[in-house]
Structure 1
Amino acid sequence: MYRILFACLFIAAFSSAAKAQSVTGILQDANDNSPVPNATIKLASADSSSRVFSSVSNNKGSFTFINVPAGNYTFTATSIGYATVAKMISVDANTNNLGVIAIAKGAKTLQAVIVNGAPPPVKQNNDTLDYAASQFKVNPDATSEDLIKKMPGITVDKSGTVTAQGETVKKVTVDGRDFFGDDATATLRNLPAEIIDKIQVFDKLSDQAQLTGFDDGNTTKAINIVTKKDMRTGNFGRVFAGYGTDNRYSGGGNVSFFNNARRISLVGLVNNVNQQNFSSQDLLGITSSGNRGGGGRRGGGGGGNFRGGDQSNFTVGQQNGISKTNAFGINYSDAWGKNIDVTGSYFFNNSNTSNNQALNQQNIITKDSSNYYDENTISDNKNYNNRANVRLTYRIDSSNSILVTSSLNFQNNNSINFVHGVNYSDVNKQNIISLTDNDINSNFHGNNLSNLVLFRHAFSKRGRSISLGISNSSSDKVGDNYLTAVNTYYKSTTVTDSLRQLSNQQNHNNKYSFNLVYTEPVGKRGQLQVNYNPSFSNNNADQETFNYDDGSAKYSLLDTSLSNKFNNTYNTQNTGITFRRGDRDNMIAAGVSYQYSELKSDQVFPQVSHIDNSYSNILGNVFSRFKLSSKSNLRIIYRGSVSAPSVTQLQNVINNSNQFFYSTGNPDLQQQYTHNIITRYNYTNSVKGQSFFANIFFQTINNYVANATYTASKDSALSRTITLFKGSQISKPVNLNGYISARSFFTFGLPIKFLKSNLNWNAGIGYAKQPGLINDVSNISNSYNYNFGAVLSSNISEYVDFNLSYSGNINTVKNTLQPTLNNNYFTQSAGISANLLTKRGLFFNNDLSNEYYKGLAGGYNTNYWLWNIAVGQKFLKNQVGELKLSVFDLLKQNKSITRNVTESYIQDVQNQVLQQYFMLTFTYKLKTFGKGKPNNTQEDHEFRRFGGPGGPPFGGGGHGGPSL
């Protein structure tokens, strides 16, 4: 009863009778698409009733069931010479055409000898790629992350970021359900590979698009993990503890309790060796604030860059610096009866990171001059994250449904930075312009709340529906920043300038939006969608800066030149129409929308000003999908969009946290207009085990928010209290046209049978044209990237697992203002890993990689090896215990090298990293599985129930991923 009361807090009851209807489809040969006649086809009810409907396909392969009530059914098709097709389907007011169903040639039975073919490694299933987990061999203790690394077209970097077919994976679900919210890292690093049946990669529709079933191409890359049916009831996990040299320690574990639909998972981690099994949301922008001693608000994008070494700047995985981590998480999902599903999770994450960073930077000043900047930063950063989310779906009846999602995040950050920087006028760094010593102490906290309620009603006419989405989000950022600086300027006479100040900052953002969508069928294969989407956002930014008063020994002297109170609103009215024609195999949708936007900015302190801009835009969208053959398909997507500048980009208050690199906002910024084109081609040959993926991404931006940078040739007054000394710099965001970004991704996978291994080749080309202003002169940075690589992964057995990998990057940067700074640099990474295990439990792990950099600034070019080794023994009954001795960075060569290239500077950065340590670790494995009691929430069709890739979660009848 309490569950129904809980659900009623979010929903209003609607009801309508479920009507019986006809269900049709076509059965075709999977190899040549020829019709399969005289096949026996059945629909068996998946609920407690025993309803069974039978049909026989005609000469064209067509079949029909009549008077089928709404509900969940097991569909089976059998024919002589073919394998049996079995899948779960949902029948409702919008589902009466199952489309084309492929049936493969079956194994022959001779004299009681059954020949069963192994499933293909990769299979194209409409819009979804299905990877059979059994065809990719990993060790018994492997995680989901270890498994998907072996699959063609999927890569996982050392930070835990997953890329599939050239796109970052934004969502990972388990059996169609959220698992640890949107945290892909937590899912992949805590779910064992042994429970996985297959991996599905697909383009996930938005929640509202899933409701309407209208696929308009507005998708995100997602992965769904399908578990083995016999492992959906039981308990599994592991706990571990280790201690090593230099007081290194690591402990934690995970445990999951699966009981059909009800699933509870607990994860925890404590260590001081930079390990992280969660992603950590950065609400405050602390970890992405840039490299210039904590200062430098950049207006535009980052240009060409690469990150090398075993470390990265992501908030998970092997981070820059040396980090202590304390983390805990819990995930819960369940089916409250037949109509209500709920998932929720909570995370706590605390990290304490110490770092020593060295930076070398060349700044473009004019067409024939530059200056040079070296910086060393010693930092200590304490970060606390709490986040919770919940998702509830209620299928009121076959025609009405409600989805409610909510998330709440908190972050608290305390950081201390000691910055020493030197400005030089010459490349040999003999002539010092100025030097600075900054102490920066910051304490910030913030929160982020978002909610979404979606209601959908499906009419009795197939394809006719109406849905309403209401969402709101709010965020707060509040904190203090203490700055103590001593600057020395070398001129005809040496000038020393000191500064002590306190800045109080408050930012508040609030947004409400509504989305009303109506769909109407047009003819047999067409559908029309009309939408209306208004949104209203309000942003407030308040900064007060006080100088230190020696007389009162307090920060009491208000500096109006560094203080600002700023309000910004951005309201839009968007209405559009889209027409779609086709079926699952061949479809095209084209639409146009009109958007009226108002961007208003009000400064109330220190001066009063008002800016009121309005825009009228026509936005187009096209989405097409073509089935070129039974093995290949092509998708082309175009979308136009507009976006407003952020309140921090608009607020014209000076950031002086590094007095050599000031930055400020620009209240005159206009909104950006973006054009995106995506082309995807997929080819899979299930018989030969081959796969080929090609993706091309192209983007242009009008009114691109770029940077205008000015370097002082002589001392200049910026305000009453701020002087821009010779050689120092100030930047602000401006709107410029001409931004272009294009990149491609190609990968080809095939089995190497004589090695019992899989070989995956990949390559790509990237180009970025980034405009900027340097001392009021236009500069265009053209960046070119050529990348290529290969991975050979073993598929021998769970006892022998190895990987050979290579990746290379050629980067070329050309500037129109100063061609002498045109730059070429090259990076490559090669590695070999091997995990060997005997049946008696003795194992050996080896991971050796080489990182090579060429073309960077002096002292940053490097060639080093990172070698990790472990040896251990499994023991106890069923080998559930394990004792392992490991060494990280055996050769003491680990490094972190980063290059960042923009239109105004070239920057090389080296960070402190974790180096050699030995550790002894004990691990205990938990594993208990039972058959359980099958029910309608346990089978594959539960993907649909929980909004998974099997289609709309509430019977929208559209596309969205695999058909199970």
Structure 2
Amino acid sequence: MKYYLSLAVLLLLSWSLSAQNQSQLNGRIFDAQTQEPLIGANVVLQSTKDSTKQFGTSTDLEGGFQLALPQGPYQLKISFLGYETYEQPLLLDKAAIDLDPILLNVSALEEGVVDVVGKTPPAVLKGDTVEFNSKAFKTNPNATAEDLVEKMPGIEIENGTVKAQGETVQQVVIDGKPFFGQDAKTTLKNLPADMVDKVQVYDQKSRQAQFSGFEDGEESKTINIISKPAYRSGTFGRFYAGIGHDDGQEADDDWRYRLGGVYNRFNGNERISILGQLNNINEQNFSSEDLAGVAASGGGGRRRWRGGSLGNFLVDDNGGINETYAGGINYSNEWNKKWKLNGSYFFNQTNNIGFDSTFRSFISEEEAGQYYLESQNQNSTNINHRATFRLEYEINDRNQIEIEPNLSVQINQGEQMSQSETYNIEQTLNQSQSLFNSELTAYNFRNRLLYRHRLKKRGRTFSVRIQQELSGQNGNNQLQSENNYYSLNQIDSIDQSSDLDEYERSYSARLEYSEPLNKQMQLQFRYDPSISYNEAEQFTFNFDGQDYNLLDTFLSNEADSRYERHRASLGLRYNKKGFRFYVRASAQWAQLSATQVYPQSFENSYNFFNILPFAVMRYKISKTKNLRIFYRAGTDEPSIGQLQEVVDNSNPIQLSIGNAQLGQETNHRINFHYASPNPSKNTMFFVGFSAQYNKDYLGESTFIAYQDTSFLGVDLAQGTQLTQDVNLDRQYQMDLFADYSFPLNFLKSNFGIKFGGSFSETPSLINNQLNYSRQPSGRLGFKLSSNISEKVDFTLSTDGSVNYSINSLNTSSNNRYYNQTTRLRAYWNPWKTLVLQTDLSHQHYAGLSDGFNTDFLLWNASLSTQLFKNQRGELGLYVYDILGQNTSLSRNFTASYIEDQIGQVLERYFMLRFSYRFVPKKGSLVDEEKSKEMIEHHQRRRSGRGPGGPPPPPR
């Protein structure tokens, strides 16, 4: 006990001594004209006593910076691309010093460029961040942030997915603060375009990487919306409602409605947002995150859910018509510069009904292959609760803590009726009719604790991250089917009930220590241990005439798995004059153990050892050119669902089974990204390339029964199939994306050209023979966005893509198809309050299966009038699918078949709509005169012309 007390006293004494003669310098940097924070500005303090001693950092997403350094006199120097350099003498003689807001003026060169061009430059490059100016992209008064960002080069929205510079945007933040977790779609759809001042696109590093300066590969493509000053303290939002009816329908359930709104109250650091919506016109406010619990569980690995796991406990939502009830709240605040909180809760319920037809052409070693045709009706209900929180506490200038718990719960219920058959060119091989009901509940809880500590020596840091994740699924299904196997001349009936109970828990940690070598180089030591446990059981019972009491041992299973991993890493970071790189080598040992208890008992255990390199290089070629190259190696382990050797017979003629012999997959990924915005010419150019190589690829083996036979102990009638996950040699894919835009001054518009291509090679086993499916594709698109005025706004775009499927096993199954999508969105305010809007989308397909090739035009339009003061309200008549041509088509290439699918869609309806938007009240706006006076005051202080002369050193 004496030993521990002495050690504690020594630790406290050393802590106290290390804190003496140190100063914590805090400051924030803003644009002098717009008052917006400057992100990534360089802050350098040089000792006036010893010029060799320099300390530096860069500003965060709020323009703030912190530096801990020895007390004494310094010269502060702040620089930022496109702005005048700021210098000021400082005397640090206190434990903590807070500077007044520092305002940077645009440099004369930059101002001269703007004056010569006579237009607002659409984008500038600030370090690794591409920043778009909203003033360069005109939109109509009722536009959303989604409408605005779609006009910006390199940003597009495809099927609800936001992409920037060819990569999926994983989160949209407002002034650096999260908004409804990582739901990019919800953020953009619920913010008005007129609140947006700047839009920044960058790769967001993890919180730990931001602290240590070492990149850990946990990057996410992020859009940061910088709001206009007026919206940072005020109330704004919108409300909308509509009622309508299907064309020519009289039934009550053919009424169409929409009701919703969003309310925002921003008061500096305190921000509250509330949103809600109800509709039955396929408007959805949620992302794939809301289905995560019933689509996959936590941990690593690719989740295919074969072999008695979630694959046969879900009714798929294949488009159709959706009725949505959704609502949520987001709250963020900061207290005393020490506490920061951001949290959100989101609820969503979607009721889906739909019909779809699927045609598959199977790749085989024989010239005469097999074909599969399926039609199904389904209805399902998915209920989701999602809560995300992050609490940050700064204990002092050297110690910080973050706690980040997240919880999601999903309930999925569904019913599906299907008819299917398999045939070849000579005859029908089998037919199946089935009724399938399922109910599944899933949850996922993740809690992350992060502790960070700065030591006395600049650049020396220590941090610990601990994470716990718990997830589970439990459900029940009932299957009734009648299956006709013509080769056996028999009809097989199934009436069964299955129960699933699956549970996963994982624990991981990360310890990091960084040590500076000199001003440009820094070492990092890192250790990452983790362990995860999976337990799953499925029991299937057949109907005995009274109840489901007969246990089917062939369709039942009980298994568990354990995956333990230890990774030790050594990294080196170099940073000098716009060039920086980070390299890391990791030695990883892992063990995968799989145990099956029922129906047969066995245990498999595998050990893996890998050397995993990692590297990232960023080079600022010039003020307008930036290059990034990223490389990473990693591993994926199979899921418990893939390891369970139990048959999934939810489709009796297309079976699947797990594989307890699966091993680990190793992957290598490289990304290349080049950005070159030219403010002087108002042009933008992006190009990106990515490639991935997977060794011991977790692929599929498909056995097609050309005659009555048995495979893997499963009896198969002619025409039926059995699919199993297997490890295959290799798989790789490559993608290229480029975007170039420039102004068309004679049209007062911006014109963009985007092109790209991809190539992938995916292996599969078909009747134990190896097939490589090679899929090259090319894409070319154009986009014309108006910048005429708020009264005339249009966006015209067209995208064409050609796709090939080339197979090594049977060249007769090779295929090509072409798709062209052309869209026009237009807004016109021809007279006073009258508004005309139209949206035309033309789809052209060529090369699909017989009966699937089609051209159709979806035309929507509205006529409305603006109401109330400043036209805040709008009342109008909206017509959806005027021509009655709406169609849902898709094509999918896999390594074992080519699939075409057509589904039910929402048909023509009329709707009377009303909307009202509100903006910050006059009393809430930032006082422009006070802002101007503050700018002039700081300019006088810098120049020494005003009262008091130059600013004295802070004390």
Give the TM-score normalised by the residue count of structure 1.
Answer: 0.84
- SS for the counterpart of 2:642 is helix
CA distance in 2, matches of 1:441, 1:924: 43
Partner of 2:802: 810
Q: CA deviation at 1:118?
A: 4.8
Partner of 2:126: 125
Whether 2:888 is the aligned partner of 1:896: answer yes
Q: CA deviation at 1:877?
A: 2.1
CA distance in 1, matches of 2:65, 2:585: 42
2:647 pairs, out of 645, 654, 657, with 654
Contact 1:202 1:221 in 2 (8 A): yes
Whether 2:792 is the aligned partner of 1:796: answer no
Report the CA distance shift for 1:74/1:724 in structure 2 as closer, same or farther (over 3 A). farther
2:509 pairs, out of 511, 514, 519, with 514
Report the CA distance shift for 1:657/1:72 in structure 2 as closer, same or farther (over 3 A). farther
2:499 pairs, out of 504, 516, 539, with 504
Q: CA deviation at 1:666?
A: 0.7
Q: CA deviation at 1:527?
A: 1.0
1:918 pairs, out of 893, 910, 922, with 910
Gaps of 5+ in 2: 1-11, 28-58, 67-71, 247-254, 298-302, 308-314, 932-955
> Map of 1:432-471 to 2, 5 A cutoff?
432-471=428-467
CA distance in 1, matches of 2:65, 2:775: 57
Partner of 2:381: 382
Report the CA distance shift for 1:757/1:283 in structure 2 as closer, same or farther (over 3 A). closer
Could you list the per-position Cα deviations for residues 173-192 of structure 1 after superposition, in whole angstroms to 9, with x for gaps in the alignment? 00101111111111111011
CA distance in 1, matches of 2:126, 2:898: 46
Letter in 1 for 2:506: K
Q: CA deviation at 1:443?
A: 0.5
Q: CA deviation at 1:838?
A: 4.9
Partner of 1:956: none
- SS for the counterpart of 1:248 is strand
Q: CA deviation at 1:104?
A: 3.8
CA distance in 1, matches of 2:757, 2:840: 28
Partner of 1:305: none
Could you list the per-position Cα deviations for residues 812-847 of structure 1 after superposition, in whole angstroms to 9, with x for gaps in the alignment? 110000001111110001121111125732111011
1:252 pairs, out of 243, 260, 267, with 260
- SS for the counterpart of 2:370 is strand
CA distance in 2, matches of 1:116, 1:811: 42
CA distance in 2, matches of 1:835, 1:600: 61
Which stretch of structure 1 is more off in the superposition, 909-918 or 203-212? Answer: 203-212
Which stretch of structure 1 is more off in the superposition, 648-657 or 578-587? Answer: 578-587
Letter in 2 for 1:914: L
CA distance in 2, matches of 1:554, 1:165: 57
CA distance in 2, matches of 1:398, 1:22: 9
Q: CA deviation at 1:375?
A: 0.3
CA distance in 2, matches of 1:481, 1:77: 64
CA distance in 1, matches of 2:331, 2:266: 10
Letter in 2 for 1:394: Y
Q: CA deviation at 1:213?
A: 2.3
Report the CA distance shift for 1:792/1:933 in structure 2 as closer, same or farther (over 3 A). closer
Q: CA deviation at 1:23?
A: 11
Contact 2:579 2:619 in 1 (8 A): yes
2:698 pairs, out of 700, 705, 712, with 705
Contact 1:449 1:474 in 2 (8 A): yes
Contact 1:513 1:534 in 2 (8 A): yes
Whether 2:91 is the aligned partner of 1:67: answer yes
Q: CA deviation at 1:932?
A: 5.2
Whether 2:629 is the aligned partner of 1:630: answer no
Partner of 1:370: 369
Could you list the per-position Cα deviations for residues 380-406 of structure 1 after superposition, in whole angstroms to 9, with x for gaps in the alignment? 011101111111111222211111111
Partner of 2:418: 419
Partner of 2:236: 236
Letter in 2 for 1:384: I
Report the CA distance shift for 1:627/1:633 in structure 2 as closer, same or farther (over 3 A). same
Letter in 2 for 1:433: L
Report the CA distance shift for 1:56/1:18 in structure 2 as closer, same or farther (over 3 A). closer
Letter in 2 for 1:501: Q
> Map of 1:540-555 to 2, 5 A cutoff?
540-550=535-545, 553-555=546-548
Partner of 1:350: 349
Q: CA deviation at 1:223?
A: 0.6
- SS for the counterpart of 2:276 is strand
Partner of 2:180: 180
Partner of 2:816: 824
Partner of 2:533: 538
CA distance in 1, matches of 2:290, 2:235: 33
CA distance in 2, matches of 1:140, 1:839: 15
Gaps of 5+ in 1: 1-11, 25-42, 79-83, 86-101, 290-294, 300-312, 940-964
Report the CA distance shift for 1:879/1:314 in structure 2 as closer, same or farther (over 3 A). farther
Identity %: 37
CA distance in 1, matches of 2:898, 2:235: 52
Partner of 1:149: 150
Report the CA distance shift for 1:423/1:748 in structure 2 as closer, same or farther (over 3 A). same
Contact 2:521 2:574 in 1 (8 A): yes
Partner of 2:271: 263
Report the CA distance shift for 1:286/1:181 in structure 2 as closer, same or farther (over 3 A). closer
Report the CA distance shift for 1:894/1:518 in structure 2 as closer, same or farther (over 3 A). same
Give the TM-score normalised by the residue count of structure 2.
Answer: 0.85
Could you list the per-position Cα deviations for residues 85-105 of structure 1 after superposition, in whole angstroms to 9, with x for gaps in the alignment? 4xxxxxxxxxxxxxxxx7744
Q: CA deviation at 1:634?
A: 1.0
Partner of 1:277: 285
CA distance in 1, matches of 2:390, 2:924: 26
Letter in 1 for 2:149: I
Could you list the per-position Cα deviations for residues 791-814 of structure 1 after superposition, in whole angstroms to 9, with x for gaps in the alignment? 000011121110110100011110
Partner of 1:197: 197
Provide the aligned length of Structure 1 versus Structure 2.
849
- SS for the counterpart of 1:180 is coil
Partner of 1:482: 478
Could you list the per-position Cα deviations for residues 187-222 of structure 1 after superposition, in whole angstroms to 9, with x for gaps in the alignment? 111011111110000001012112212235541111
- SS for the counterpart of 1:460 is coil
Report the CA distance shift for 1:723/1:691 in structure 2 as closer, same or farther (over 3 A). same
> Map of 1:912-951 to 2, 5 A cutoff?
912-930=904-922
Higher RCO by CA contacts (8 Å cutoff, separation 6 or greater): 1
Partner of 2:843: 851
Q: CA deviation at 1:737?
A: 1.5
Report the CA distance shift for 1:65/1:524 in structure 2 as closer, same or farther (over 3 A). farther
Q: CA deviation at 1:282?
A: 5.0
Which stretch of structure 1 is more off in the superposition, 458-467 or 167-176? Answer: 458-467
> Map of 1:708-727 to 2, 5 A cutoff?
708-717=701-710, 723-727=715-719
Report the CA distance shift for 1:55/1:587 in structure 2 as closer, same or farther (over 3 A). closer
CA distance in 2, matches of 1:666, 1:45: 53
Report the CA distance shift for 1:253/1:933 in structure 2 as closer, same or farther (over 3 A). closer
Partner of 1:37: none
Letter in 2 for 1:126: G
Q: CA deviation at 1:915?
A: 1.2
CA distance in 1, matches of 2:466, 2:330: 26
Contact 2:873 2:915 in 1 (8 A): yes
- SS for the counterpart of 1:208 is helix
CA distance in 2, matches of 1:857, 1:225: 44
Letter in 1 for 2:502: N
Contact 2:332 2:340 in 1 (8 A): yes
Contact 1:196 1:227 in 2 (8 A): yes
CA distance in 1, matches of 2:734, 2:333: 43
CA distance in 1, matches of 2:316, 2:146: 17
Partner of 1:410: 409
Letter in 2 for 1:867: W
Contact 1:284 1:444 in 2 (8 A): no
